[in-house]
Structure 1
Amino acid sequence: MDASQFQNMLIGIAIAGFALMEFASRRYQTTVQATANDTKLDLLVFISVVAISQPLAILVTQTIGQNWFAQWQGVWADWPWWAMFGVLLLGDDLTQYLWHRASHSPLLWPLHRAHHSAQYMSVRMTFRNNFFYYLMMPGLWIAGVLLFLGFGGWVYALYLTIKITIILGAHCAWRWDEPLYKIKALHPVMWVVERTISTPATHWAHHALTNKDGIGNYTGNFGNMLFLWDVIFGTAHITRKYPEHIGLMDDRIHGQEHWAQQMFYPVIHSKRADSALRFGGTIYDENKQ
């Protein structure tokens, strides 16, 4: 079994494990009211990331590198694993934090809106986004370049497995951090954990329907694997509480956008005049209502 196969196996186990806990805790049955529209979007985006976006980024960077920069192939292969891991944190996770933060701007919001249109949290919607959101994600392309430069397959496999596991846990309907906050002896440990990695409490706040309850923070808490970026750049909001409602207010007012419009904008546009998924449309802002 090579590094890529081992990585995929571990990620598959993580997905299955979190999904099992969602059902065993009955969090899925009681909190996830997904429509057929949601199911199509969740499933098709996941397939597109696994089958198209990530493989394409690696294929293109490898092809360009071999054809134009062959003398650089593998030049960093002798780096120690910890140095490779550190560069991946900067080249992939930090850039994803910055990309995620930029995607909450009016220009890029339509490419990220799909991730927030789910009115539930679950492992099933972890990768839910616009198709072009992933194709344009800097971290995927930087990772491809780093692999070309010699970053070991096993180092990248370990890094990606840890990252995906943390991200899955942050989106999971089963809130794994909730019982840990209630154990007084763990308070110092959880203080460090919640400022280092994304947890359900901090990431659910990012998916909140509103910021007005003092818990929601959809204008911050952008970290994917490391929440530390939010702490460093001043976008962190930590309450150890969970928002009552998830999703987008304009969808609650007007109804869901069609899955194809959410996934393939700007190729396919919404028919709603006030939608962010059409040229000239408006983005709902609760502060202006």
Structure 2
Amino acid sequence: MTAVQIQNALVLCTILGFATMEWASRRYQNNVNATGNDTKLEILMFLSVLAVTQPLAIFVTSKMGAAWFPQYKGALADLPWWGMVGILLLLDDMTQYWWHRLSHTSFLWPLHRAHHSAEYMSIRITFRNNFFYYLMMPGLWFAGALLFLGFGGLVYAGYIVVKLLVILGAHCAWRWDEPLYRIRALHPLMWVLERTISTPATHWAHHAITNADGVGHYKGNFGNLLFLWDIIFGSAHITRRYPEQVGLVDDQLFGQERWYHQMLFPLLQSQREHTALKFGGRIYQDPQDRSPTA
């Protein structure tokens, strides 16, 4: 099997594994209240990332590299695996941290809002975002450039699988970290783990509808693979607890935005009174400061 085939097989096993645990634990049946609107958005965004955005970034960077810098093709192929992983963590994962953090400012919030409009946590929302959120994500383009420079093979495949494992786990309706917190002997390990990678407890807090309970932290916990970036850059909030509700208060008050507005803004714009998905629109300002961009 090639590295790509191994990567794809492991990715499929990871998705099926988490899906099985969501179902077997009954967390999916009891907590995921998705509508048809949610399903269209999530399926189409997953397919667009898989079939359009990621291949496009790889194709364009490869063509640009071949046209402008042909002498550098494969130039970094002989780096040791740990060197490749370190560069990937900086140029892919750390840049994604900052892109995510910037997406919680008023200017970029419309491109990320769809990810927070889900009123449930599940692996199905992992790639739920605006189409242009991914198209403009620096890490995807850096990854394409690194592939041109020789970052292929099992190192890149392994990095992708591990990152997806952590990200899916952080969104999963089955909270894998919850029982581990109750085992006293594992407390030192969990202390290190929750400060290193994203976990359900830290990432669910980022999706909380409010910060008022001391658990929610939608203005932080931005890490994707590494939660360490939140520790380093001062945006971490660790409670080992889970918010009672996730989602957006303006959707609760005024109804969910249509999937095509969430996915294709600014090409398609909402007609809702309180919305971030139209030019000049303003989201509802809750007196308890429950807006993720407030």
Same-fold status (TM-score > 0.5):
yes
Tell me the residue number matched to 2:201: 201
**CA positional deviation for 1:288:** 5.4
1:88 is the counterpart of 2:88: yes
Give the letter for the 2:16 counterpart: A
Equivalent residues in 2 for 1:134-283, closer than 5 Å: 134-283=134-283
Residues 288/22 of structure 1: CA separation in 2 closer, same or farther (3 Å cut) = closer
1:111-130 deviations in Å (ceiling 9; x for gaps):
00000000000001111000
2:30 counterpart residue number: 30
Partner of 1:103: 103
2:41 and 2:259 in contact (8 A); partners too: yes
d(CA) in 2 for partners of 1:213, 1:288: 12
Code of the residue aligned with 1:163 in structure 2: it is K
TM-score (norm 1): 0.98
Say what the alpha-carbon RMSD is for the aligned residues: 0.9
Instruction: Output one character per residue of 1:64-116: Cα deviation in whole Å (capped at 9) or x when no partner.
Output: 11111101111111110100000000000000000000000000000000000
Per-residue deviation, 1:153: 2.4
Q: Determine the C-alpha separation between the residues in 1 that align with 2:277 and 2:29.
A: 31
Indicate if the aligned counterparts of 1:204 and 1:243 stay in contact, CA closer than 8 A.
yes
Q: Deviations over 1:35-80 (max 9, x none)?
A: 0000000110000000001010000000111111101111111110
Q: What does residue 127 of structure 1 align with?
A: 127
Q: Could you report, residue by residue, the CA deviation over 1:147-202 in whole angstroms, capped at 9, with x for unpaired residues?
A: 11111322111101000110000000000000000000000000000000000000
When residues 197 and 126 of structure 1 are mapped into structure 2, their CA distance, relative to the original with a 3 A threshold, is same
Deviates more, 1:49-58 or 1:148-157: 148-157
Q: How many Å separate the matches in 2 of 1:288 and 1:218?
A: 11
Distance 1:167 1:212 in 2: 26
What SS does structure 2 have at the residue aligned with 1:219? Answer: coil
**Distance apart, 1:248 and its partner CA:** 0.2
Structure 2 CA distance for aligned equivalents of residues 144 and 115 of structure 1: 24
Q: Distance in 2 between matches of 1:3 and 1:80?
A: 17
1:233 Cα deviation after fit: 0.5
Query: Does structure 1 residue 14 correspond to structure 2 residue 14?
Result: yes
Query: Contact (CA 8 Å) 2:254, 2:274: kept in 1 or not?
Result: no
Q: Which residue type is aligned with residue 277 of structure 2?
A: L
CA distance in 2, matches of 1:57, 1:8: 18
1:23 is displaced (CA, Å) by 0.5
Query: What amino acid sits opposite 1:50 in the alignment?
Result: L
Q: Secondary structure at the match of 1:222?
A: coil
1:285, CA displacement in angstroms? 3.9
Match of 2:77 in 1: 77
Which residue identity is paired with 1:138? Answer: P
Gaps of 5+ in 1: none
**Aligned mates of 1:112, 1:161 — CA distance in 2:** 23
The offset of 1:283, in angstroms, is: 2.8
Deviations 1:203-253 (A, max 9, x none): 000000101110000000000000000000010000000000010000000
3-state SS of paired residue (1:29) = helix
Amino acid at match of 1:245: Q
- TM-score scaled by structure 2? 0.97
Match of 1:5 in 2: 5
* Residue aligned with 2:204, SS: helix
Structure 1 stretch displaced more, 52-61 or 145-154 = 145-154
Change (3 A) 1:206 1:146: same
Distance 2:139 2:6 in 1: 21
Deviation at 1:6, TM superposition (A): 1.0
User: Contact conserved, 2:104 with 2:219, CA < 8 A, in 1?
Assistant: yes
Relative distance call for 1:284 and 1:219 in structure 2 (3 A) is farther
Does the CA contact (< 8 Å) of 1:276 and 1:282 recur in 2? Answer: yes
| Residues 147, 153 of structure 1: 8 Å contact kept | no
Distance 1:108 1:114 in 2: 12
